[in-house]
Structure 1
């Protein structure tokens, strides 16, 4: 009698990305972007803020950020030679790692919560003892991946992920604490958050700075200047980033045509959508859809 065997889990080349203590010593900032996978980012050094979930969050040494698939985010750091931006980044495809969680019910449940549920807290400021723990956890993975045989790297990454999830579960077990700031800074942040919320609601329509400013009782010039100053990008760039983010989600999860997706997210023509997508992503929407579908096939 033939026994049907479940195929062994594949560890695809693109199933995770790990950068240990990546440095930016001066110059430009990252564009607004979203990942297909789950991202954990830990700040070793740097000072600035994170634009995420329609809010501005302060960023400094010990900031830990967890981002779900396709969530838009952008870091804006005050980078100088004496104050560099140093961070460690771990991004992984949850669909390819879920199978490793199956034998740990509680951890599996938490894993799925991080992947798919609406979360209360995704930006944390760690205490010194917690900073030491996370720094050691990241260094261990960096060292192990550089010294162990290639066949053992799968095991090292999975064990690291187990430890990471356990620690993050402890950190998010309580209620999140709110950050304090001056009245003027908080007012500016509130205006920027309101602008992001307005765009998130109206991104599929033709963008109008006048309409946005009027809805918030601000002058168009002030709204545009404030958003650029606080986030490091223009309102138009944020609108485009949000549309590209939505298109990636639709390309990955629906069978809508390229033209239908372009129209649904606010592009006047499919040609302009394809051109804009390729400019931001480096490949066409059709190629991106094919790439994603290939990645999820066993």
Structure 2
């Protein structure tokens, strides 16, 4: 997915929502992201590490950190996600914009962090005039709790600048692949567009995505193929060609590795997998879930 632009409720420096994710390919954004697994299990893949986050656990993703999400649940997951814009929190000379948290899993003050996310989520449905004041107060308490719960370092301006430059290049790579994944593209071609060597680009992609260029390209193509299989009546051969693959056998092998099904069986069994194909960006598969039931479970936890 391209650099993710996140829209927030007017007047608030964060976005908070429930979602069920089947797969979300590599992407990044400038927001600090915290995920609470309300139900199920997900695999969070970062550039240098992989973490299985289980029901009741919290994880943290730093701004500009490349990540992908894959569902590992027997049924499906339900995630409560908050994405905070550091530059909108102006206390302490924009300290939050300069922080790099050191841990992915939040193992301290987990109940406090979770309950604040629950309170903010429930309050977001309140349209009374005092609600925005309360939500702004909650986010400051939430950040203070994070600072107590997770070790961090304050980045110097040179590291912040270097990070920005690196991710501008990475944004180009991701945007290019997601715009041309169904064409014949290779690392030489992309390296020439960036005016760097193939070796340099290969190392750069591996360093930031944690996988090779070909594996990343295959991941984007595979997710698009799943969209087509479950939302159209296209033949498997046409799905293969439209997704950028040249061999249905290769597509079948990739699908079986991810889901345990061949392409044909995946299409037949899709009602059991509860897949939903919304108007989502390339690289995303979201799943339907009972939002009212999840809302009631959150309310019951705080009562």
Normalising by the residue count of structure 2, what TM-score does the alignment of the two structures yield?
A: 0.48
Q: TM-score, normalised by structure 1?
A: 0.49
* Higher-RCO chain (CA-CA 8 Å, sequence separation at least 6): 2
